[in-house]
């Protein structure tokens, strides 16, 4: 390897995207051993940026400068080899007295985080995703998603953004955490874990690169659900849906179907049903009904939701707006073989009729139409709930 190869290419700025596939890079610590223009350089634990898809490493600027400096020192001392064991920085940034776990190497070597001001502010701090469930379960906090992997935690006193990386870990900036009351910081600290050095996500793209790509239909739908649930909390003072571990995992892992098979039909219908119907909190809806003088006895979650919304809907057709949710429920019954073949065929015909589709429509066509209808319904319902 020539020393000139170590220098960054002209006009090249290292970012968090693979030069080959444009996928996100993770920070890793690898052994470097190369002959660099006549000097045998060996460095244990050198930071590198790895593309797991291409199995290719990229050198961050800090590592390039380390190699260049070692080569320069070797030439000055007329030695033919250099063998170094790198010590991790383990720097602590004085933003908060709460002893959060984080790795200062993330701040120093992940592109886009190191700044000439507020040193350490953009250090990523990692948490178990259960931290979201703790906030979701509390009546004084809100967890609101802009997509399945990017959102906010808020109360009347604070708002903090978070991301969810590809390993299902929640990521928050250290500087943002330090703005919270100390009691809130200790609440977060209880779910704090060691860094896995992976922050490539919509969170990173939005917060660091200011990239706001068009979200997938699945992300749009989940965000609209979140907006509706948040609007209901504001209006009724009660969370009408819960975000348990299963729902969050399903939302993070779910992708649109690409083939029409019995297995994919069951999976798509069952997953959508769990995220968008079973997550409604029957007890919470019953509580809102009871406060309004209505009787929830014998009603399922969708009927309870209808009863909650109809009194506040000035001109809105709540049964029509909730129809896609009933269609989703019936689609699950039809696709999950929970009834006879003839009955399933009859229910499926009802599904396509209500979606104004041909009776022979397959999963891919039904999925696209249904998720579009669900998104439109959540958006319209949110407008109704927010109206004063």
In the chain, where are the structural domains located? 3-85, 104-207, 217-386
- E strands, 222-323, where? none
pLDDT of the residue at 340: 82
* CB of 316 closer than 8 Å to CB of 253: no
Between helix 262-276 and helix 245-253 the angle, nearest 10°, is: 130
Helix (H, G, I), strand (E, B) or coil at 304: helix
pLDDT digits (tens, 9 = 90+) for 137-159: 888 888 999 888 899 999 888 89
**What is the model's pLDDT at position 37?**
94
Which DSSP helix (H) or strand (E) runs through 322?
helix 318-335
CA 159 to chain centre: 17
Separation in Å, CA 80 to CA 6, 69, 77, 262 = 18, 14, 9, 65
pLDDT surpasses 70 at 313: yes
pLDDT of residue 213: 65
- Under the banding of pLDDT at 50, 70 and 90, the label for residue 263 is very high
Model confidence over 176-228: pLDDT tens digits? Answer: 999 998 989 999 999 999 999 999 989 999 999 887 767 788 999 999 999 99
pLDDT tens by residue, 28-87 = 999 999 999 999 999 999 999 999 999 999 999 999 999 999 999 999 999 999 999 999
Strand partners, 41: 34, 82
Whether the per-residue pLDDT at 296 is higher than 80: the answer is yes
- The residues, ordered by sequence, that sit 6+ positions from 359 with a Cβ below 8 Å of its Cβ are 348, 349, 352, 353
* pTM higher than the cut 0.85: no
Confidence of residue 133 (pLDDT cuts 50, 70, 90): confident
**Nearest of 29, 37, 40, 31 to residue 5 by alpha carbon:** 37
Quickly name the fold that domain 3-85 has: Ubiquitin-like (UB roll) (3.10.20)
Structure confidence at residue 135 (pLDDT): 87
150-154 and 142-147 strand pairing: antiparallel
Average pLDDT across the chain, whole number: 92
The token pair at 290 is 């009871």
């Amino acid at each position: 390897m020539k020393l000139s190869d170590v220098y960054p290419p002209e006009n090249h700025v290292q970012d968090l995207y693979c030069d080959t596939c444009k996928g996100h890079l993770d920070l890793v610590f690898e052994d470097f051993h190369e002959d660099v223009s006549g000097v045998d350089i060996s460095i244990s634990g050198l930071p590198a940026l790895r593309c797991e898809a291409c199995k290719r490493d990229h050198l961050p600027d800090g590592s390039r400068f380390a190699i260049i400096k070692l080569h320069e020192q070797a030439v000055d001392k007329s030695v033919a080899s250099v063998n170094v064991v790198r010590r991790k920085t383990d720097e602590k940034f004085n933003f908060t007295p709460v002893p959060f776990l984080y790795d200062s190497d993330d701040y120093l070597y992940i592109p886009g985080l190191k700044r000439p001001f507020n040193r350490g502010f953009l250090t990523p701090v990692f948490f178990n995703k259960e931290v979201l469930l703790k906030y979701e379960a509390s009546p004084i906090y809100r967890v609101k998603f802009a997509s399945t992997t990017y959102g906010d935690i808020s109360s009347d006193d604070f708002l903090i953004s978070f991301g969810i990386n590809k390993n299902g870990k929640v990521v928050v900036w250290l500087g943002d955490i330090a703005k919270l009351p100390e009691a809130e910081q200790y609440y977060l600290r209880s779910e704090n874990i060691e860094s896995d050095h992976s922050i490539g996500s919509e969170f990173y793209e939005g917060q660091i690169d200011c990239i706001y790509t068009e979200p997938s239909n699945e992300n749009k739908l989940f965000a609209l659900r979140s907006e509706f649930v948040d609007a209901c909390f504001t209006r009724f003072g009660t969370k009408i849906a819960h975000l348990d571990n299963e729902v969050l995992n399903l939302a993070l892992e779910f992708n649109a179907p690409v083939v029409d098979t019995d297995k994919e039909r069951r999976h798509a219908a069952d997953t959508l049903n769990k995220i968008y119907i079973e997550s409604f909190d029957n007890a919470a809806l019953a509580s809102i009904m009871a406060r309004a003088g209505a009787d929830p006895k014998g009603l399922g979650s969708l009927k309870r939701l209808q009863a909650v919304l109809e009194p506040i809907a000035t001109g809105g057709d709540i049964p029509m707006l909730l129809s896609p949710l009933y269609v989703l429920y019936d689609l699950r019954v039809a696709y999950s073989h929970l009834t006879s073949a003839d009955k399933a065929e009859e229910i499926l015909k009802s599904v396509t009729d209500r979606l104004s589709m041909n009776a022979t429509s397959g999963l891919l066509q039904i999925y696209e139409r249904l998720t579009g209808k669900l998104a439109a319904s959540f958006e319209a319902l949110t407008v109704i709930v927010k109206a004063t």
